[in-house]
Amino acid sequence: MPISFSLAIDDNVIERIFGWAARKGASVISNSWGMAAANFPLSARQHIAIRRAATEGRGGKGCVICFAAGNANRPINGTVDEPAWPGSRIAGPTRWYNGFAAHPDVIAVAACTSFNKKAAYSNWGPEISACAPSSNGHPSIGQAPTYPIVSGPFPGKAVYTTDRTGREGYDSSDYTFAVGGTSSACPLVAGVAALILSANPSLTAAEVKKIIEQTADKIADNGADPQLGHQLGAYDEQGRSPWFGYGKVNAFRAVLRAAGQDGRGAREIHLHSAPALAITDNHYEGVAVPATVEEQGVVRSLETSVRIGHPYIGDLKVSLVAPSGKRALLHDKQGGGKNKIRKEYTLENTPSLRGLLGELAKGSWWLSVQDIAPRDTGILEEWGLDLVVTPARTLVLEDYPNLAIPDDQPFGIERKLKVETEAVVKMITVQVDISHPFVGDLEVALVSPQGKKAILHNRRGGATDNIKSAFNSLDTPSLQPLLGEPARGEWALNARDLAFRDTGRLNGWKLELVMEE
């Protein structure tokens, strides 16, 4: 659906563009346009308009929004010391900020060349999600070059594509060989997003963005930018490059990943409970009824049905609680003197349920009902839970070093287990077997490949003998910041004895990761 709008951008125009696209059923919104201003932060209304489309469009799954990074060879959000503009039109430390490409809910697209190098004009920065092949050429903003002027050559082919018919387009024929810029790279990524959704329509916009990033090819460019001299083609520990984001978009791998989440093992789980349970009157703790999922998986979609008889439902708060303890509020004291709740809570009519997408399914799901006002009492008659889950992989690694822990030494010992899988951690269990006559001397920690440290045992237990314990991210708060981290890399167990006299040994340890691939 082509959208025509005034180039005089204001709050009303942005709200109309993205609101219209979402209302008309757009799945992907491709934006090959940007502002000519060097520094263009978004207003609150503009920011909210884009976020609303990205989270509420497509029936609550969100429209995938792609933005061209821009062609000035400048940071999406950063400062450059500008020395060589005619008439000092721009001079000295200059803030560059593209509020559209920097929006956290969009996919910001950079351009690479047909030689898998940075397109000389492509904007850059940590906001870039991915790049796509396009032309090469001198950097510009609007139709004017940015400075200093760099003489060619700019090697690489432009993009051959369909054109407006007849003489209305770039070429007198119906095709053109000269399309380029991040304006060409952006719709290529938007097209891949559409392919992803054709393979798996249940994905949220955030999940599509993640798939594009996780399946991108790591192209390399160790050269220097000819205009500013930067060398930003390397990837950090998170696999991200300022020039290329997570790499060059790979349509084949992205669609395979999306199809794997949908067509290879996705299943529905239906749970039902009819407790006919009295709801405790004027009691904040209320009542809760469980429904148990026996198999592991990642929640892709969910809805719940609730039937409650109560003479004044304005007294009630009703919540769905995942096995992790994460809670979605379904009913919050609305309805006044109505005498019953008979409702299907879905992703479309209950936005709080979206917060449970991506949760692990295995374990007890609870329906919690609180009556927080006196006099009227009611019955939780029945409730049901419908989940769509995709497979989660469990990896178990073990190490039995039977290694002495140095007494009263702050450096201690460290043992590492290597994970080769490209995946995201959803749950962590660490089993530790240490022999020691005074465990109050010991500190034991798990360190992720990204360097995040989770203290498992911190000098408690006094003269108790030995540590033979399992630490799980469900009930060990220190492990929870490690969830959502990439699994790949070396996971380390640190054991330190921080007091003199008593000595012990690390007999072994086991790391169990539940991962979303």
Full set of structural domains in the chain with CATH: 11-263 (3.40.50.200), 267-390 (2.60.120.260), 393-516 (2.60.120.260)
Looking at residue 57, its pLDDT comes to 95
Query: CA distances (Å), 22 to each of 8, 43, 379, in order?
Result: 21, 20, 40
Find out whether 140 and 72 touch, Cβ atoms under 8 Å: yes
Helices (H) and strands (E) in the chain, counts: 6, 29
The sign one gets for the Cα dihedral 503, 508, 514, 517 is positive
d(CA 362, CA 366): 12
d(CA 415, CA 409): 16
d(CA 260, CA 254): 10
d(CA 101, CA 112): 17
Looking at residue 517, its pLDDT comes to 64
Q: Select from 200, 90, 194, 204 the least CA-distant residue to 139.
A: 90
Looking at residue 260, its pLDDT comes to 67
Looking at residue 262, its pLDDT comes to 41
What is the DSSP secondary structure assignment for residue 86, as one 8-state letter? G
**Beta-bridge partner residues of 268:** 388
d(CA 141, CA 128): 18
Looking at residue 12, its pLDDT comes to 95
* Count of Cβ atoms closer than 10 Å to residue 67 Cβ: 29
d(CA 54, CA 302): 19
Looking at residue 252, its pLDDT comes to 84
CA atoms within a 13 Å half-sphere pointing along the CA-CB vector of 56:
16
Q: Mind listing the pLDDT tens digit of every residue in the chain (517 residues)?
A: 999 888 788 999 999 999 999 999 999 999 999 888 899 999 999 999 999 999 999 999 999 999 999 999 999 999 999 988 998 889 999 999 999 999 999 999 999 999 999 999 999 999 999 999 999 999 999 789 999 999 888 999 999 999 888 888 888 889 998 889 999 999 999 999 999 999 899 899 999 999 999 889 889 899 999 999 999 999 987 889 999 999 999 998 888 788 764 444 567 899 999 999 999 999 989 999 999 999 899 998 899 999 999 999 999 999 999 999 999 999 999 999 999 999 999 987 898 998 998 899 999 999 999 999 999 999 999 999 999 888 888 999 999 999 999 999 999 999 999 999 888 899 999 999 999 999 999 999 999 999 999 999 999 999 999 999 999 999 999 999 999 889 999 999 999 999 999 999 999 999 999 998 6
Looking at residue 261, its pLDDT comes to 47
Q: Select from 130, 192, 120 the least CA-distant residue to 156.
A: 120
Looking at residue 265, its pLDDT comes to 58
Find out whether 241 and 234 touch, Cβ atoms under 8 Å: yes
The residue written with tokens 């025509």 in the block is 4
Q: What is the CA radius of gyration of the chain?
A: 28
Report how far apart the first and last C-alpha atoms of the chain are (Å, whole number): 33
Counted residue by residue, the chain has a size of 517
- Output the six-digit token pair for 314: 């304005």
Query: CA distances (Å), 201 to each of 189, 205, 267, in order?
Result: 17, 10, 15
Q: Select from 274, 427, 288 the least CA-distant residue to 364.
A: 288
Residues 18-57: b if buried by 16+ CB within 10 A, e if exposed: beebbeeebbbbbbbebbeebebebeeebbebbbbbbbbb
Q: What is the pLDDT of residues 385-435, one digit of tens each?
A: 999 888 888 999 999 999 999 999 999 999 999 999 888 899 999 999 999
Burial of 454 (0-12, 13-18, 19+ CB in 10 A): buried
d(CA 127, CA 98): 10
d(CA 39, CA 117): 27
Three-class secondary structure of residue 199 per DSSP: helix
DSSP for 459-502 reads S-STT---EEEEEETTT-GGGGGGTTSB--EEEEEEEEE-SSS-
CA atoms within a 13 Å half-sphere pointing along the CA-CB vector of 64:
29
Looking at residue 257, its pLDDT comes to 81
- Output the six-digit token pair for 176: 């053109």
Q: Is the entire prediction scored with pTM above 0.85?
A: no
Q: What is the pLDDT of residues 255-308, one digit of tens each?
A: 878 876 444 456 789 999 999 999 999 998 999 999 999 989 999 889 999 999
d(CA 331, CA 328): 9
Three-class secondary structure of residue 372 per DSSP: coil
